[in-house]
Structure 1
Amino acid sequence: MSDRPPLWLPVAAAQDGLLTRRQLRRLGLSSDYVDTQLDARRWQEVSSTVLGTTTGVLTRRQLMWAGVLHAGERSALGGLTALERHGLERWHRDEITVLVEKSHNLEPIKGIHFVETRRPIPLLTASTALPTWRVEPAALLWAGYEPVTRSAYGLLSACVQQGLTTAIRLDSWITRMRPLRRAKPFRRLLGELAEGTQSAAERDVLTMCDTFRLPRPDRQKRRRDSGGRLRYTDAEWTLADGRVVVLEVDGGFHMHVEHWSADIERERQLIATGLIVIRCSAIELREHPERIVRDLRRLGVVESSA
């Protein structure tokens, strides 16, 4: 018997253990060879075109490979799946998104959403082994078609806040992505992000102040809490008597027990330094900003003279 490794092994190793029938034919391996592996249960059939050289449930990365291999050479991971690959946190979706060219008639694979697009997929794909769209087109296209406007703004803000890209790069890609839904409001948002707005919630705070004629607050200001730790406040106003009112905005992830507990400690230790701290949810900030304005005014934040 030959000690040489099988011809398919390097290809499979580069694709997390997955191969296509076409790749095997190119290597000179017959359908009988494939059937022998399947019958012996050394391999598994993932789809009519994709084979797994391991058994058991596919890992998430293997499922990503299965999607792009099944869709063919001119396909790539897109949307939130592409951003997950680039390191985006707290925007996980179980379903994997694979972008394919228009008029692609594909056999479905459970857990994979094949999305048709007329965009030039190869030109927008990053230089990675697993074909994945670049951060900017992936984020902008997802945000452009997301039904919930706030989620669209939140995603772009998260990409900038988490360091995946910059507001300037996203803005330049809007031109390259023409036509793009919501292009004008996206440019306004990115302009604010470039000036220092770090999240959709911060943008809503500025909108609230402008609407109700409150002075714009200082944002992401560095503070030492009572334990000596460095903190960044969401928004704060310095009153005429020298007191400082802080508004902390809780997003959805703050509802998780570990975040909620940490927020309580953070609030207590900021109050212990003499700050006046009030909190609101991101939903309340968007849906009922007048309630927050009422309480800020009662605490001494006066109407802006501008």
Structure 2
Amino acid sequence: MWDQQAGILTRRQALAAGLTDEAIDAQVGAARWQRVYPGVLATFSGPVGREAQLWAAVLFAGTGAVLSHETAAELHKLVSEPAEVVHISIPVGRSVRARPGIVLHRSRNVERLRHPVLEPPRTKLEETVLDLTQTSPDLDSAIGWLVKAVASRRTTATRLLEALTARHRVRWRRELTNALSDVADGCHSMLELRYARAVERAHRLPHGCRQRRRGSWYDDVAYIDFGVLVELDGRAAHAGERVFRDHRRDNAAVLSGAKVLRYGLADVTRRPCVVAGEVATVLRSAGWVGHPRSCGPGCPLPQQRGDSPVPRHG
């Protein structure tokens, strides 16, 4: 049993396996075993590794407990670094005494949220992502979890939407549903999502094709009918190899006859109206017969007669 639990077992499990209290205490007294939490033992001496830590925490939390939130995200490889504390969800009505290093969340649907196979017990990937949206400090952070999950290719916008729909109480339900629509359309980063909303949609530019494959490259936004590409770079600085790849991609696009515009995070978040004007100018030079529209008061683009301001989406 303890081999399947990274060398961790509860005193109750040890007794059920035929050991006596005296035998257990003798192992601990001889420093061959060690106590991790009250009633939870490591059947080895020395450091308690990460997997053993997680098993110890979830076994301490008891019946129905599952690893969740940031800890489940770690196990699903949605984050690269473990959180400083272990997050565990337990059924409503269970009473578990808090311990340092463990954060307890209570849920009415732990059994439904639990992954049916993976061990140690954890929430399903989609439920993990939705849990994280609900504990996020703001809407942008919540949407960021949706974007990260789909960009990781470990789930899809459709599966996340199904899980979202199945939940009865969801903070920011409408906004998260709208965000999943953009993610399904190919927005694989918060920068790409902001461009779609604050630049393209808010100023009524043509709808671009997201993540279009071109040879060995993927174009962030392609206005195919006009031969115009928009590349979006969310990092403040690039490593040299990344810069080289970006230049090769841009050069390949230009050689194929495309016009390439490249914008960073500051451009899209601080100057979306200016970006929209520049993209519109290039599109019109390539044959677009439409006109960009003002997104509201303070936007330098012209307000067309009969237009109403386009709302910005959160």
Same fold (TM over 0.5): yes
Residue identity over aligned pairs, in percent, reads 26
Matched, 1:279 2:263: yes
Aligned partner of 2:115 in structure 1 is 126
SS in 2 for 1:73: coil
Larger mean Cα displacement after TM superposition, 177-186 or 163-172: 163-172
For residue 27 of structure 1, the aligned residue among 5, 8, 17 is: 17
Aligned partner of 2:167 in structure 1 is 177
CA distance 1:239–1:160, shift in 2 (3 Å)? closer
Normalising to structure 1: TM-score of the pair? 0.81
Deviations 1:241-263 (A, max 9, x none): x5x3432231xxx458xx63333
Aligned partner of 1:153 in structure 2 is 143
CA distance 1:99–1:288, shift in 2 (3 Å)? farther
Larger mean Cα displacement after TM superposition, 27-36 or 145-154: 27-36
Matched, 1:266 2:248: no
Aligned partner of 1:209 in structure 2 is 200
Q: Aligned partner of 1:25: which letter?
A: L
Aligned partner of 1:235 in structure 2 is 221
Q: Aligned partner of 2:190: which letter?
A: A
Matched, 1:57 2:40: no
Deviation, 1:143, is 0.6
Aligned partner of 1:97 in structure 2 is 87
- Matched residues in 2 for 1:249 and 1:34: separation? 58
Give yes or no for contact 2:192–2:232 (8 Å, CA) kept in 1. no
- Matched residues in 1 for 2:81 and 2:160: separation? 18
- Matched residues in 2 for 1:175 and 1:276: separation? 39
Q: Aligned partner of 1:125: which letter?
A: R
Give yes or no for contact 1:136–1:165 (8 Å, CA) kept in 2. yes
- Matched residues in 2 for 1:272 and 1:188: separation? 35
CA distance 1:288–1:150, shift in 2 (3 Å)? farther
Deviation, 1:301, is 4.0
* Alignment coverage as a number of residue pairs: 280
Aligned partner of 1:45 in structure 2 is 35
Deviation, 1:91, is 7.2
Aligned partner of 1:247 in structure 2 is 231
Give yes or no for contact 1:220–1:234 (8 Å, CA) kept in 2. yes
SS in 2 for 1:114: strand
Q: Aligned partner of 2:218: which letter?
A: Y
Give yes or no for contact 2:65–2:90 (8 Å, CA) kept in 1. yes
Deviation, 1:267, is 1.9
For residue 184 of structure 2, the aligned residue among 175, 187, 194 is: 194
Deviations 1:72-111 (A, max 9, x none): 021101113213322324575343211123453324143x
Give yes or no for contact 1:280–1:292 (8 Å, CA) kept in 2. no
Deviation, 1:238, is 6.2
Alignment RMSD (CA, Å): 2.6
Normalising to structure 2: TM-score of the pair? 0.79
